[in-house]
Amino acid sequence: MRPSIVILDAATLGDDISLAPLEALGNVTRYHTTLPDERIAHIGEAEIVITNKVVIDEEVMMRAPKLKLICVAATGMNNIDLAAAEKLGIDVRNVKGYSTKSVAQHTFAMLFYLLEQLRYYDDVVKDGRWSVSGIFTDVTRPFYEIAGKKWGIIGFGEIGQEVARLATAFGAHVAYYSTSGLNLSHEYVHQPLEVLLETSDIVSIHAPLTEKTMMLINETNLPLLKDKAVLLNLGRGGIVNETDLAFELDRREIYAGLDVLETEPIDPQNPLLHIKHKERLLITPHMAWTSVEARKTLIEGIARNIREYLKK
């Protein structure tokens, strides 16, 4: 008998990716999104549940009598009560490494946008300023090369290491800070956080959200950043204090690119939306992981986890 499979937030996977690998394994029911008060009804009699960000806690598990496997359509599993799942005999599996290249690529996309002042130069051409300038080029907003610059990486898992590899290829000098304090056996220099912040031209964050990283970047250490430094957060919202960053962006010339925020989607009252120097900030809607290739790999990884469960 084919198992019942429920996808709680299919919208996060996109409509352009085939779910055929999952449909080959069971009877799939998709929900575009699932609100907190819809979780129990949506799971119903399902044996297998797939969730990206929908929280599945002990109460939900207790009211899903046939639930045997939770597949997290992500690497992080902080939306699952793992202790309750173990107690109830529910298997929980995630997919690791599927988005490494996608996130690393987006890191550079954000950097180039900010470093080379691309918004400004696109506007100069399209609003006619270049046409009437009388000169073939425009150097009113100078930009710098990555080569020879110091790139500091916070969080040195698979993504952090891939960014280090690419940054090195561009000629950057890479150092890193391990947020766990355990990931220290690498060819790159490990530095205390404060040293890394005050000596880096580019800082990118690729760490999980833990007790150690919550509000790691805040009003006490943001002033350590060099003038004109670029700060990129592609780890988790909550690692950077957004109120403190908004203040610092308007206080002096630094730049920030954020793909993750503490509250997603962004609260309209978030102070980052109301800074004076908007050209210093780029925000993308938690999309770094979503390349077509990454999402296909994710579906394949979920299907692999289901097949392994079914073989048991």
Catalytic residues: 236, 264, 286
For residue 102, give the amino acid letter. S
Helix 100-115 vs helix 292-311: angle between axes, to the nearest 10 degrees? Answer: 160
Helix axes 100-115, 118-126, angle to 10 degrees: 60
Q: Which residue(s) pair with 159 in the sheet? A: none
Q: Which amino acid is at 25?
A: L
C-alpha to C-alpha distance for 273 and 250, rounded to whole angstroms: 12
The residues pairing with 232 across neighbouring beta strands, listed in sequence order, are: 204, 257
Q: Which of 54, 98, 85, 86 is nearest to 72 (CA)?
A: 54
What the block records as the tokens of 109 is: 């996309």
The structure tokens listed for 139 are: 């150097």
The span from the CA of 98 to the CA of 100, in Å, is 6
| Residue 58 to residue 110: CA distance in whole angstroms | 39
